[in-house]
Structure 1
Amino acid sequence: MARNSSFKFKQFTIQQDQCAMKVCTDACVLGAWADVKDADRILDIGTGTGLLALMVAQRNTYARIDAVEIDAEAFYQAGENVEKSPFHDRIVLYHSAIQEFESTYQYDVIITNPPFFQSDLLSPINKKNIAHHAKSLDFDELIHSIDRLLKPDGRFNVLFPVDEGKRFRQKAEKAGWVVSQKLTLYHHDGKRPFRELMTFCRPEAAHHEEVGKVLHIYHNGETEYNPAFRELLRDFYLKF
């Protein structure tokens, strides 16, 4: 996906020139796939441009959504994106680290595209370190924050590179969480998977065994979008 200064969706536009993390395909898949049904209150951890909060607001037409962002420039740009959207009256942004964020209520659903790369070399650009690396939010802190902010019967949705996802899942399961659904994302058939999307809940809220699916972005190489990918994103992408 091209790194343009803005990205236009069917119902909203993302300005992203002030954000280290631009609109990317895997984040769009998370926003379209995450389990947000029947949720009255949703929390977006590390909202960046506001993309996930806006996608969730489009899919769930009544939920109140809180979005937390630590980076000042991203926070202000997310605020502009939200304010110009049809969903501005249901989304509230907070400039805070999630470890310090306090709420008077717990959430039905949490969604997050968290910092990746727990062990990779740091970039010399600090904003990219915050966005890409778990320098400001490691796995244990993320799991603790979710445990504190999520209702006992709530669920949370996350996106990781495959290897990072395996490590996060091990930590989450050790902390008492179970995966209720998983989506493995491929560029196309013949390529290795590059992202895993997972929905976690507490064991007492798991109503069925883990449901695992796969999604290919393209078929016939990279010349055509996969029909399943088109269907998932058709309410968002202008070209669909």
Structure 2
Amino acid sequence: MARNSSFRFKNFTVQQDKCAMKVCTDACVLGAWADVSDADHILDIGAGTGLLSLMVAQRNSYGIIDAVEIDAEAFYQAGENVENSPFHERIRLFHSAVQEFTSEHKYDVIVTNPPFFQSDLLSPIDKKNIAHHAKSLDFAELLTAIDRLLSDTGKFNILFPIDEGQQFLKKALESGWVLSRKLTLFHHEGKKAFRLVMTFQRSELIHNKHIEEEICIYEPDGTTYNQSFRDLLKDFYMIF
């Protein structure tokens, strides 16, 4: 996906020139795939440009979305994007680390595209370190925050590269969370998987079985969009 200064969707536009984390395909998949049905209160951890909050607001027509962002420039840019969207009355932004964030209510759904590199070399640009590395929010801290903020019957949806996703899955299961859905994302058939998108909840599943899905972005030719990907993003991407 091109790293332009803005990205136009069917119902909103995301300005991203001040954010280290740009609009990317995998984040769009998370926003379109996450289970946000029947949720009155939704939390977006690490809002960045506000992309996930905006996508969730489009998919859930009544829920109130709280979005937490630690980086000042990203926080202000998310505010601009939200204010210029049709959903501004239902999205509230908070300039805070999630470890310090408090709320008067528990959340029915949490969505997050967190800092994910646990061990890679750090960038000399600190803003990119915050956005991409678990420097300010490691797995244990993230799970602690989610446990504190999520309702007893709530679900959280999260995105990771494959290796970090497997590490997080192990940590979450050891902490008592139950995996209810898992989506493995491929560029196209024959390529290695590059992202895991997962939904967790507290309670055991009916029949003790979670749902596993796979989506390829492209057909084997590497340029034609796969129909499953088109169906998932058709309400958002201008090209579909």
Task: With the length of structure 1 as denominator, give the TM-score of the two structures.
Answer: 0.99
Mapped partners of 2:89, 2:182: distance in 1: 31
The separation in 2 between residues aligned to 1:86 and 1:98, in whole angstroms, is 26
Match of 2:172 in 1: 172
* Residue in structure 2 matched with residue 146 of structure 1 by the alignment: 146
List gaps (5 residues or longer) in structure 1. none
User: Residues 185-213 of structure 1, C-alpha deviation per residue, up to 9 Å, x if partnerless?
Assistant: 00000100000000000124x33511101
Q: State the alpha-carbon separation in 1 of the partners of residues 220 and 200 from structure 2.
A: 33
Number of positions where the alignment pairs a residue of Structure 1 with one of Structure 2: 239
Other-structure match for 1:130: 130
Structure 2 Cα separation of the partners of residues 81 and 57 of structure 1: 13
Matches within 5 A, 1:212-231: 212-231=212-231
Report what 1:195 is aligned to.
195
Percent sequence identity over matched residues?
71
- Two-structure CA RMSD over aligned residues (Å): 0.7
In the TM superposition, what is the alpha-carbon distance from 1:223 to its structure 2 partner? 1.7
The residue aligned with 1:207 is: 206
Other-structure match for 1:37: 37
The 3-state SS of whatever aligns with 1:7 is strand
Structure 2: state its 5+ residue gaps. none
Distance (Å, rounded) in 2 between the aligned partners of 1:175 and 1:194: 25
Question: How much does 1:221 deviate?
Answer: 2.2
For residues 74-113 of structure 1, the aligned pairs below 5 Å read 74-113=74-113
| Aligned match of 1:12 | 12
SS of the counterpart of 1:217? strand
Q: Which runs of 4+ in 1 moved over 3 A?
A: none
CA contact (8 A) 2:44 2:67 kept: yes
Indicate whether 1:48 and 2:51 are aligned. no
**Residue type of the partner of 1:190?**
G
Distance 2:149 2:112 in 1: 13
